[in-house]
Every structure is written in C-alpha cells, then in structure tokens.
Amino acid sequence: MLLENKVAFVSGGSRGIGRALCEVFAREGADVAFNYNSSEDQAAEVVAAIENAGRRALAFRVSVTDRPGCNRMIREVLEAFGRVDVLVNNAAINRADSFATMTEKAWSEVMDVNVNGLFNITKPVYKQMLRRREGKILNITSIGAVRALPTSVHYATSKAAVLGFTKCLSREAGQFGIAVNAIAAGIFDTDLGNTLPDKFLEIYTAWSSSGRLGHAEELAEFAAFLCCDRNSYMNGEIIMIDGGSVT
C-alpha cells in the first residue's frame, strides 16, 4: 500500500503505460482520476479495475491539448476528491515519419500533445500543490530523448523537452515540498511502442540485456515507489527503465 489514501491523476490513462499506472496505483491504495482521448470502452475497463481494487475512480474524455477543458477537469477532480497528491504526465503520441517528409502539421500535432499537453495538465495541479506545500509529479519521457535511436525527430524533440521541464520545475518546486522526477522509458509492448518498425524492435531486443520489450506493469510498479512518501529525497532525477539497453 505505497499510495494508501493518496489521490492520483494520470494523463492518458486508458491504455498502455497509462492504464498500468492507474491499475497499480489503485492496488497500492490511491484513488485515481485520469483522462483519455477516444478509447471509451478501454476507459470503462480501467474505471472498473480501479473500483474493483476498492478505490474511487474518475475518467474524463478530455484531450490534453484542450487547455480550458483541462482546467475544468482538474477543478472537477478537486471538487470530488479534495486534492491531487500525485500527478503522472503520461499522455503522448508518436508518428512514424522522417524529418525530410515531415509536415508542419505533423510537427505541431506531436508538440501540441507532448509539450503543450504537459503544461496544460501540470499547471492547475501544481497550483493546488503549491497551496498545500506537498505533492509528487512524475513525467514519462523516453530514451529517445537522450539516445540516437531511429525514432521520429518530432517525438524525440518533444520528449527532450520533458527532461528540461522536469529539471527546472524540480528546482522551483522543491522549495515548496513538491518533488518532480521523470522516467525515461525504453521500448514497451504497448500501442505506442509498436508504432516502431519491426526491424528496430528486433534490434532493440538484441541490445537489451533483458532480451525483450518491457511490460507496462513493470514501469508502473517502479512509478508507484517514486510517487510514494517513502521516496522522500529524490528530486529532479531522470530514471532510465529500458531493460538494460547498451546503446
């Protein structure tokens, strides 16, 4: 029960890593709210899993790119649950593309979700954490932000922005009792991970000392510790979870 009686908000919580985060956090004792973009059936399954763990659940069909919608959503979470102790910024998209053929629309779409969405969710949550002088923020970035992997330039750039966001916000937030850390995720067996070319996925499993892609639950288990009170002296850190990649 690492997160007993905590309230968590997970962006992009209906599938993949986000779904695993919601389910593990609920198992560890947290009430969980999350948003999703389009997966109604999957969101309902996540709500059921949270409630089956004996915790309260809230789901919102709100895009992280909708700033007014995000503000309203967080207000509703605060009205229902009273506070947000833990925020996990997980929502992200990727588009298979080369820089030579990439359009301005594709660039803007990825940046809007992965960077502007980070701002849109964090700002209203952070303000209530400031008033309470406590909280945990965990940002999910990618090893593509720090290593020369054959992923899309717009995705890698957006995830590199998450590194700067984490480092600088941790400096500001730490003086108010708020910890801000990040997980740089390797390749996981999720919808997002499987957008990568098959050839690269094969090479990645050969690079990894674990010899396989990651499972979303494995990241979520560690995230639960990062966001719990026992983890009381870590701030501004980027933790690699990539199965022991040697690149």
Active site residues: 155
In order of 14, 17, 39, 96, 160, the CA distances from 53 in angstroms are 16, 18, 21, 37, 35
**Is there a contact between 115 and 161 (Cβ–Cβ < 8 Å)?**
yes
User: What distances in angstroms separate CA 98 from CA 116, 136, 234, one per listed residue?
Assistant: 22, 36, 37
Q: What is the CA radius of gyration of the chain?
A: 17
The CA-atom distances, in angstroms, between 206 and each of 143, 189, 245 are 16, 15, 9
User: 17 and 191 in contact (C-beta within 8 Å)?
Assistant: no
Q: How far apart are the first and last CA of the chain?
A: 35
CB 86, CB 63: distance < 8 Å: no
